[in-house]
């Protein structure tokens, strides 16, 4: 697989366009100085904005703001929790403050080569907090326990603590080709296959043995406005549907503590299966 690097100072661009304030800039730079790199949904959206959308849209700057707005939590000052918002723990400096992740919001995921490099980045960020940088809030462990969470100017940052390695090792573990792009101090790293998928608004499935695949396909195609699956990947999706159905039969298909109903799997089946429709579980 041929990899490319676009030597764009994407962090400076974010600051210049006003979509990252000084706190976001400082936290991100502290991670980059320790060899950290951003990958996943945010990296995909930002890379697309820089490499594709800015050349095709007369509203390029608006696209930038739409991109970052997907990654903005809102502070809940009135202790009101609508069902579509996930609430994180309190700010250690203000026991009454809670933060909510808006519906559809994503985290800015930062990965590191080693645990030691993550510790050093965390120390640098915590020193900023101790120095009085009020827009940097340490939340603590993520709900799943795989990352250290911060809210920086209402942006949810996650310093991943359960997965270490080179960028190539990290992205090769992802289930979607579209997520296999990363941002580091050198620029934007991507492949020809990634670029082709993004230009055609298609989702590429690389791993389909995970029970969560159906929900993730649903999330990615809608949140990232992808119109269809890559040619040849519909068979992978069908395979995932049948595997999910087997789990439903045995009562082992559980998500967020709730058993999944057959009707839910059927709805997923309708989305991208164009032949051999499934009528029973």
What is the C-alpha R_g of the chain? 20
pLDDT at 278: 42
Contact 188, 51 (CB under 8 A): yes
Distance in angstroms (rounded) separating the CA atoms of residues 133 and 135? 6
pLDDT at 231: 92
pLDDT at 68: 58
pLDDT at 192: 94
Contact 67, 46 (CB under 8 A): yes
Contact 171, 39 (CB under 8 A): yes
pLDDT at 281: 41
Per-block mean pLDDT, blocks of 10 residues, the chain (281 long): 86 84 92 96 89 59 56 45 41 47 67 97 94 86 85 88 95 95 96 95 92 87 88 92 88 80 84 52 41
CA 232 to chain centre: 25
pLDDT at 275: 43
pLDDT at 55: 53
pTM of the model: 0.82
Closest CA to 47 of 171, 191, 244, 261: 191
Token pair recorded at residue 222 = 């809608």
pLDDT at 71: 59
- Euclidean distance between the first and final Cα of the chain, in Å? 39
């Amino acid at each position: 697989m041929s990899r490319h690097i676009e030597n764009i100072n994407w962090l400076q661009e974010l600051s210049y366009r006003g979509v990252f304030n000084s706190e976001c800039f400082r936290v991100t730079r502290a991670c980059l100085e320790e060899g950290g790199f951003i990958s996943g949904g945010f990296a995909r959206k930002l890379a697309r904005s820089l490499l594709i959308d800015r050349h095709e849209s007369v509203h390029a700057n608006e696209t930038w703001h739409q991109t970052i707005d997907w990654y903005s939590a809102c502070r809940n000052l009135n202790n009101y929790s609508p069902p579509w918002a996930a609430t994180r723990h309190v700010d250690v400096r203000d026991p009454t403050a809670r933060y909510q992740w808006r519906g559809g919001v994503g985290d800015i995921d930062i990965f590191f080569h080693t645990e030691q490099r993550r510790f050093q980045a965390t120390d640098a960020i915590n020193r900023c907090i101790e120095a009085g940088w009020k827009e940097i809030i340490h939340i603590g462990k993520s709900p799943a326990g795989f990352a250290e969470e911060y809210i920086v100017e209402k942006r949810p940052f996650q310093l991943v603590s359960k997965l270490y390695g080179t960028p190539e090792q990290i992205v090769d573990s992802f289930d979607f080709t579209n997520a296999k792009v990363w941002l580091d101090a050198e620029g934007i790293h991507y492949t020809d296959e990634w670029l082709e998928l993004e230009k055609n608004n298609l989702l590429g499935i690389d791993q389909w043995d995970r029970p969560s695949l159906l929900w993730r396909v649903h999330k990615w195609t809608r949140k990232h406005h992808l119109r269809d699956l890559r040619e040849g990947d519909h068979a992978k999706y069908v395979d995932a549907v049948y595997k999910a159905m087997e789990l439903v039969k045995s009562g082992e298909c559980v998500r967020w503590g709730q058993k999944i109903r057959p009707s839910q799997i059927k709805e997923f089946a309708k989305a991208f299966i164009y032949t051999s429709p499934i009528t029973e579980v």
